[in-house]
Structure 1
Amino acid sequence: MLFSAEISDFRTVHNVLRSISLKDYVILRPTEEGLKFTLEEMKSVEISAYVPRSIFSHYRIEENQDIVFKISMKVLTECLNIFGDDGNPSVKLSYKSIGDPLCLIIKHSEENITVDCEIKTMNVDDSPDVSLAEECNLNKVVVNASILTEVLQRLDNAAEELSIEINPEPPHFILTTTGIAGESKVNIPRHSDSITIFQCKEKCLWKYAFSNVRQILKVMNYASKVAILQFRLFQWETGLLGLQLVINSDDKQMYVEYYVTSLFAED
């Protein structure tokens, strides 16, 4: 058995996975630290959900094995939702060997009903465990997730572009949308109650497709705080936006990282 795990209450995990279901297939990588789910779109958008092994009641991985495979995200989330919101089901996961299906045993504790599922796995071609963010980290802002969600929802949703500026000088953190209706702007000073960390090495202003950024709003509803990171991708002379979300599950935490490349840079 290459990998096996059990979680007694996977409601939060299911909600997070369902909210990041942006693509048909997800790359699943069991590691010593826990499970990593990754979706990627044309190397311009990358989203990963981390479920630490501390969330599982049982977690075992074969030593010295690099385990990675691809499965249908739709099938996975539908299996996890087989009992809907009824009861408090548990799930056991197992992956016997390369090429075998991912097996799920989902048990409804109150009704004593057990459902066995097998999800076809596929090999992953050329998938090193490397994030888009392995670049020079320029700036970092940690902000209250509910505040950031509210700000993004209040901006012009019809706008095509969102510019994000982090500046050592006031007003420090600026979000601006540009569309047919004109320009909408929100300024947040570094000493705002909604900001807990503000680190700025240099002023950076990059624009992003607003549709890409809006993709993260669903999962942001489950987060307590968000770290906003700016990176410079030297090989493309452009900017990378990183959003790292902390999601509480009882007294434990899981994490989501979202990276999107900019449209172009501005001085």
Structure 2
Amino acid sequence: MDDDMSQYYFTASMDSGKTLCSLLKAIQFQEISIAVLAECLNIFGSGEESSLKMYYRGEGSPLLLVLQPQSLTNVMTDCEISTQTADSVLELRDEDSSEVAKLVLKAPAFLGLLADLERSCDIMELQLSPEHPNVSIVTYGMQDRSCIDMPKSSEMVQSFSCEETVTLKYQLHHIRLIMKALAISSKVVVRFSSNGLLLLQLKLEKEDQRQMFSEFYIVPLLDD
């Protein structure tokens, strides 16, 4: 590997490649090309901890990985992963929109709430208000409708801010996609923008106390 870092657009190093692998698995929604990267990170086996270095020269270049197991000396492996160029990059942030409500929830409790929602429902409506009960979660299916009220005094809620009543709808399937990441998280920050965009920021924690963060953006359903 060339030591001249100036030729690379991106470089990174980590003491633990397994940490990155865990994060990738938490945000992997389906069997796409991200699985190739996860396999490379586990090239020495799931029980072996390895240091990791990554290099990327720029558009059209492969992603280069250098892994070195901690239990073996003078052993190193290089991997090259072909990259793709996106036709366009989806930009969800809107500089003209403002934050209208914010929730900080305990991730295990929120995971349990999502797991308990009726599987036949496909739409989730979130109602936030400065007045009691503060948060209402309404789910709709073909023949079912259910509602869960959650006041800001709930043990699940660590903080709550909302100055005016907000009602937004989302595909419940999109919300459930974060459940794998929630399972290894301690806290989730839920932010609502004036344009309806839902941002979920998760604080992930590993057994070795390493902390990681991931963000999920979910666009709202438009009224008919």
Residues 170 and 265 of structure 1: CA distance in aligned 2, closer, same or farther (over 3 Å): farther
CA distance, structure 2, for counterparts of residue 229 and residue 98 of structure 1: 33
CA distance, structure 2, for counterparts of residue 247 and residue 87 of structure 1: 21
Q: Residue 4 of structure 2 corresponds to which residue in structure 1?
A: none
Q: Which moved more, 1:87-96 or 1:195-204?
A: 87-96
Residues 136 and 265 of structure 1: CA distance in aligned 2, closer, same or farther (over 3 Å): farther
The gaps in structure 1 that reach 5 residues or longer are 26-71, 234-238
Q: Does residue 253 of structure 1 match 2:211? A: yes
Identity of aligned residues (%): 30
CA distance, structure 1, for counterparts of residue 94 and residue 17 of structure 2: 28
SS of the residue 2:110 aligns to? helix
Count of residues paired in the alignment: 214
Q: Is the 8 A contact 2:188 2:203 kept in 1?
A: yes
SS of the residue 2:60 aligns to? coil
Structure with higher Rg: it is 2
Q: Highest relative contact order (Cα 8 Å, sep 6+), 1 or 2?
A: 1
CA distance, structure 2, for counterparts of residue 209 and residue 125 of structure 1: 26
Q: Residue 21 of structure 1 corresponds to which residue in structure 2?
A: 28
**Counterpart code for 2:146:** S
Residue in structure 2 matching 1:137, options 99, 103, 106: 99
SS of the residue 2:121 aligns to? coil
Q: Residue 5 of structure 1 corresponds to which residue in structure 2?
A: 12
Instruction: Say which structure is richer in strand.
Output: 1
Q: Does residue 240 of structure 1 match 2:175? A: no
Residue in structure 2 matching 1:214, options 173, 176, 182: 176
The gaps in structure 2 that reach 5 residues or longer are 1-6
**Counterpart code for 2:99:** N
Deviations 1:62-88 (A, max 9, x none): xxxxxxxxxx32221221122342121
**CA apart distance, 1:119:** 0.7
Q: Does residue 224 of structure 1 match 2:189? A: no
TM-score by length of 1: 0.72
Q: Does residue 264 of structure 1 match 2:209? A: no
**CA apart distance, 1:195:** 1.1
RMSD: 2.3
**CA apart distance, 1:138:** 0.6
